[in-house]
Chain A
């Protein structure tokens, strides 16, 4: 008799049991009878499992080892390589829009210069520092996870999240300033370059690229923040340790990449 048939038999017997229970006096006898039946049938079940060939359960697989990997090492290598490949895609993604940026920067050099003067480089520098700090705490979080120091991992990840949020908050403030000045491209673009009104269309093009590039970057930050929250939860639950810390490391790769993108964007949009 196969296992499945066994289970079906048990189910059928359970039905019988319920019917008997219904016919018996309901309130008092119920629980007792149920208990008795359970003992009986679980004994039968125990007998059935006892004759199964014994498994090597002294080598229980790691709870986070996915079934299609041989071991945690293979799983770890696959996930980091996967993230590197994803970052390769990202480079081309930002590369496309940066390529267009450089073309127009060459075509409208003066307007581009005028446009970047509307950025507050002091705020930009401060925000860059915040982001570099978050990269540091992220690196420390990976290190802590690797050592299995649960609380330190949680603290470092939380710090990263806080610094990331500060960055986004400052970015929002900058955006609101630009919108206030009428620098948001499109219908609401009311800004006129007073020194040289002929540059105005070029400034609008610059602002389009500014919002496209920083907006895409901010979107990556928001996704990163979401992932951080998930990682904080997992770290808190104690999932990570010396043999399993891949998710934090992969998260770190992503976070550093997003920071590096900013390291490119900051001089291109604020300084030159």
Chain B
């Protein structure tokens, strides 16, 4: 063995094959990892699991609603199932899904950073999330909870004999995981950007994540303290929110919605983050009005804090405050609309490539627009009094949460799958499942607008016979939707072994995450990148890449 052979092997062999996945092996290399990419994967697996748990409850609800009589589930079980559906989906899927799974993986790559600012806190946040989730699972297997995901008092504190305490404790704990994620993201975005990566060169994904993190950081503690007071009331039997003992149940609603309306933006802003990236990548254009979209994210985060009482128009708040909240609710629609207009303006006269992520983007834009506009109906006091607590509301927020967030999540999964795994997903199957999801979704939820508008109330397990046709349509749609969601489980798993090798930049997209290998090495970049181009600036980015490769 001569020195020169040793030298040669060492410099030719390793760089290409070494990546964050094969760096270490074994369970503990995952459970004790501080690598944001692996933590992202841990989150990805756990939120996906809980998505299917929540989906199971949804499917049971739809099956029950196939007939007007309450025949499949008892009314008690039905109450528990819709409660568990809501809690699992909101606290354990929608809130962490995009930020903690995709954001964790992609954000440091986009910034050209080696990791998030606090890797240990990042791992801790996953453990906190899992602890909360274990409480959730415990409640599910030991008999459930029936308060609805909103835990309205005094029912939750004085009357419900189900596992309210364990559930609220689970939600309380999980809240801290999202606080820590938000904190980590904010510090990372402020302090860990690569040289040359100024604020207005950041991808819009980062802006949107920044806005999300602000909401996580400032809204979640209010939920935490509210649930803390609720637990206190339930354990001690004191009347913080119980009118019989001098408390005020409307105050509970104020505090709860002070978190839970902004929480909608914790769910939708990250989806918008993904959409901006995909629109730019598949139209190969700069996002139209970059600064407007960037500031729209911050405006949504800010205005989102000022509209909570639109959930309480019939809860006994004064007409004047209701008018103000109604007005502010109209206002918060403006930045969302700016985003939608700018995405469509970007697509105008572009040659769009219709890969799967782009199909989801089109789904998102259409469905989010419908969800947003019906949100304005509900924000208008008069209409809200008419359709409050009806299926119209259920349809509206599912257009935002499922049509918006889940579409964005799936767009992101497909868009970054080659980066995460190094493999392409099978395009034909992915398009099929995108189509199934779009059709299934509309079939499930559009009839609910109609049936709600004519008066079917939410949260009942039996209903008047004249609503049956629309309910059957909805259940049929849910079946298609379920097939659409299960399909990716198979083809994505399949692609881990048999998918085409992706290469570092399969979409030819601009962005630092595409400037490193797929899957990325443990430290993300072999050389710290220096950014000389604006976000989505195709010519400048390609030139810079060519230069670094020639060096």
A51 touches B6 (CB 8 A): yes
Interface residues on A, range: 35 or more
B248 touches A107 (CB 8 A): yes
Residue in A3, A81, A92 whose CB lies within 8 Å of B221: A92
A223 close to B (CB within 8 Å):
no
User: Cβ of B115: which chain A residues have Cβ within 8 Å of it?
Assistant: 68
Complex-state Cα separation, A236 to B219, whole angstroms:
39
B218 close to A (CB within 8 Å):
yes
A51 touches B3 (CB 8 A): yes
Interface centre among A3, A48, A85, A205 (most CB of B within 10 A): A85
A96 touches B239 (CB 8 A): no
A86 touches B1 (CB 8 A): no
A82 touches B226 (CB 8 A): no
Complex-state Cα separation, A144 to B232, whole angstroms:
42
* B-contacting 9-mer, from A10-18, A97-105, A133-141, A237-245: A97-105
B225 touches A108 (CB 8 A): no
A81 touches B190 (CB 8 A): yes
Interface residues of A in 70-111 (CB under 8 A from B): 70, 74, 77-78, 81-82, 85-86, 88-90, 92-97, 99-100, 103-104, 107-108
A78 touches B191 (CB 8 A): yes
Complex-state Cα separation, A189 to B118, whole angstroms:
45
Interface residues of B in 1-27 (CB under 8 A from A): 1, 3, 5-7, 9-10, 13-14
Chain B 139-165 interface 0/1 with A at a Cβ cutoff of 8 Å (1 = within) = 000000000000000000000000000
B255 touches A100 (CB 8 A): yes
Interface residues of A in 33-48 (CB under 8 A from B): 48
User: Cβ of B3: which chain A residues have Cβ within 8 Å of it?
Assistant: 51
User: Cβ of B378: which chain A residues have Cβ within 8 Å of it?
Assistant: none
Residue of A at shortest CB range from B186? Answer: A85
B224 touches A205 (CB 8 A): no
Complex-state Cα separation, A187 to B245, whole angstroms:
13
A29 close to B (CB within 8 Å):
no
A196 close to B (CB within 8 Å):
no
B191 touches A97 (CB 8 A): no
Smallest Cβ distance from A69 to chain B, in angstroms?
A: 8
User: Cβ of B528: which chain A residues have Cβ within 8 Å of it?
Assistant: 70
Complex-state Cα separation, A78 to B191, whole angstroms:
6
A208 close to B (CB within 8 Å):
yes
User: Cβ of B247: which chain A residues have Cβ within 8 Å of it?
Assistant: 205
A58 close to B (CB within 8 Å):
no
A195 close to B (CB within 8 Å):
no
Q: Is the interface of B mostly helix, strand, loop or mixed?
A: helix
A1 touches B225 (CB 8 A): no
A169 close to B (CB within 8 Å):
no
User: Cβ of A3: which chain B residues have Cβ within 8 Å of it?
Assistant: 10
B10 touches A82 (CB 8 A): no
Interface residues of B in 247-263 (CB under 8 A from A): 247-248, 251, 255, 258
A54 close to B (CB within 8 Å):
no
B192 close to A (CB within 8 Å):
yes
A82 touches B217 (CB 8 A): no
A224 close to B (CB within 8 Å):
no
User: Cβ of A212: which chain B residues have Cβ within 8 Å of it?
Assistant: 228-229, 232
Residue in B113, B222, B224 whose CB lies within 8 Å of A68: B113
Complex-state Cα separation, A201 to B5, whole angstroms:
86
B183 touches A86 (CB 8 A): yes
B222 touches A95 (CB 8 A): yes
* A74-B191 CB under 8 A given contacts A51-B6, A89-B183, A185-B238: yes
What 9 A-B pairs are tightest by C-beta distance, nearest first? A186-B236, A93-B221, A96-B225, A68-B114, A68-B115, A92-B221, A96-B222, A51-B3, A78-B117
Query: Which residues of A are at the interface with B, using a C-beta cutoff of 8 A?
Result: 1-3, 48, 51, 66-68, 70, 74, 77-78, 81-82, 85-86, 88-90, 92-97, 99-100, 103-104, 107-108, 185-187, 189, 201-202, 204-205, 208, 212, 216
Query: Which residues of B are at the interface with A, using a C-beta cutoff of 8 A?
Result: 1, 3, 5-7, 9-10, 13-14, 113-119, 121, 179, 183-184, 186-188, 190-192, 217-222, 224-226, 228-229, 232, 235-240, 245-248, 251, 255, 258, 523, 528
Known: A2-B10, A96-B255. 12 other contacts (CB 8 A): A1-B1, A68-B116, A82-B121, A82-B183, A82-B187, A92-B219, A96-B221, A97-B229, A103-B251, A185-B236, A208-B236, A216-B228
